[in-house]
Amino acid sequence: MRPQNISLLCGLVTLLFFPVQLLIQAPDNVLSYRNIIESFENCIPKNNQVETKKEDTMVATTIQQQVDTADLEQKVKTMYRDVALEPEKEYHFEMGRPLAEKLGYNPDDLDHIPAASIESFAGVGYFFDLAGIKEGEKILDLGSGSGMDAFIAALKTGRPGYVTGIDMTDEQLEKANRLVEDFNLNNITFVKGKIEQLDFEDATFDVVISNGVINLCPDKAKVFNEIARVLKPETGRLALADIVSREQLPENIVCNSTLWASCIGGAAQEDNYKILIEKPGMQVINIKRNTKYEFISKSARGASDKYGVKSISLVAQRL
């Protein structure tokens, strides 16, 4: 028999057979009886205690439920290949300059970067007001796509600075690098890779940016560990926009690779998302909700209504 069960049984026996004797012996024993009751109650797990343990486990493992990562990667690559090659097609999300301006991008910035990078923009929020990019800083763009955010970052850091974009989709990389050559830009480059395993030295970058990408990664803890590793201590910042949820998503959504590729299935619960950022040595300074970002598909709108799936932007400081 488990120790907890033995304690429960002993407490129950005490409650049944000894209260009358205690009360007859002396009034002070009323307090003793209350103590017995409290001891008995302490043996019973409280709902909030169970929930805390469940939450701790969920944060530690990032995602208990399993999504087919190979299938997910292929679906993401296929979707964003199409975004690069056929931006005029209809997708389950908004795209292009109308979306960028609606989210808060400065039209003047958009006028000074390649238009072809804007037409394939499929971000979920605006974060440059939080990033505070200074002239001469080194920037890393995670999931850079066709390069719109990277090109804007290059404007802000100027010629003394440098921007590196990383993406796993060949067609996006080819388009972005072609634009770099066409516009003769020498402070920006795009490389192939996965954001869960960054091929850079420790403390390389001043700022890491990302837009609507980390929600697509099953191992978010590993992503944030890598971000913290490549940021410069004390001065480095993470500025991003992403999809999170008010409530933990159920297994039938989390295990669906199609909903992951649609930026729904991978949405982390917002409190857990913040914990995952701060665990490797970053501190979230500011969070804002991107109320202008709207979901188009019926499934996405349903998840938004039921589980509070939404877009946020935030900035975190490397400690």
Q: Are 135 and 154 contacting, i.e. CB atoms less than 8 angstroms apart?
A: no
Based on the fold, state whether residues 25 and 64 are members of the same structural domain: no
Number of domains in the chain: 2
pLDDT in tens, 170-186: 999 999 999 999 999 99
Asked whether residue 52 is domain-assigned, the answer is: no
Same domain, 124 and 259: yes
Three-state secondary structure string covering 45-104: CCHHHHHHHHHHHHHHHCCCCCCCHHHHHHHHHHHHHHHHHCCCCCCCCCCHHHHHHHHC
Shared domain check, 137 and 189: yes
Residues 152 and 288 in one domain: yes
**Residue 62: pLDDT band by 50, 70, 90 thresholds?**
very low
Domain identity same for 207 and 167: yes
- Examine the domain organization and report whether 234 and 162 are in the same domain: yes
Same domain? For 197 and 302 the reply is yes
Domain-embedded: residue 91: yes
Q: Does some domain include residue 49? A: no
pLDDT band with cut points at 50, 70 and 90 for residue 45 = very low
Q: What is the mean pLDDT of the chain?
A: 83
Task: Classify strands 162-167 and 237-245 as parallel, antiparallel or unpaired.
Answer: unpaired
The DSSP line for 87-150 is TTS--SS--HHHHHHHHT--HHHHHTS-HHHHHT---S---HHHH---TT-EEEEET-TTSHHH
Give the separation between CA 261 and CA 264, rounded to whole angstroms. Answer: 7
Could you identify the residue written with the tokens 């619960």? 269
In a domain? residue 268: yes
Alpha helices, H only, 143-297: 148-157, 170-182, 220-230, 251-254, 257-261, 270-278
208-231 pLDDT per residue, tens:
999 999 999 999 999 999 999 999
One domain for residues 73 and 139: yes
One domain for residues 165 and 40: no
Distance CA 116, CA 151 (A): 11
Query: Does 280 share its domain with 306?
Result: yes
DSSP 36: H
pLDDT at 1: 53
Structure tokens at 295: 């979901």
Count of alpha carbons within 13 angstroms of residue 88, beta-carbon side:
0
In a domain, 68, yes or no: yes
pLDDT higher than 90, residue 90: no
Please state which of the ranges 114-128, 246-260, 284-298 shows the lowest mean pLDDT: 246-260
The string of pLDDT tens digits covering residues 193-205 is: 999 999 999 999 9
* 146 and 247 both lie in a single domain: yes
| 50 assigned to some structural domain | no
**Residue 301 sits in a domain of what CATH number?**
3.40.50.150
For residue 222, the 8-state DSSP code is H
Residue 254: its pLDDT value, please?
A: 85
What backbone phi and psi angles, to 5 degrees, belong to 116? Answer: -65, -25
The domain in which residue 232 lies consists of 57-318
Judge whether 85 lies within some domain: yes
Q: Is 203 exposed, middle or buried (0-12, 13-18, 19+ CB in 10 A)?
A: middle
> Same domain, yes or no, for 35 and 184?
no
Where does residue 3 rank: exposed (0-12), middle (13-18), buried (19+ CB within 10 A)? exposed
Tell me the sheet residues that pair with 50.
none
Cβ(195)–Cβ(229) under 8 Å?
Answer: no
Q: What is the pLDDT at residue 265?
A: 84
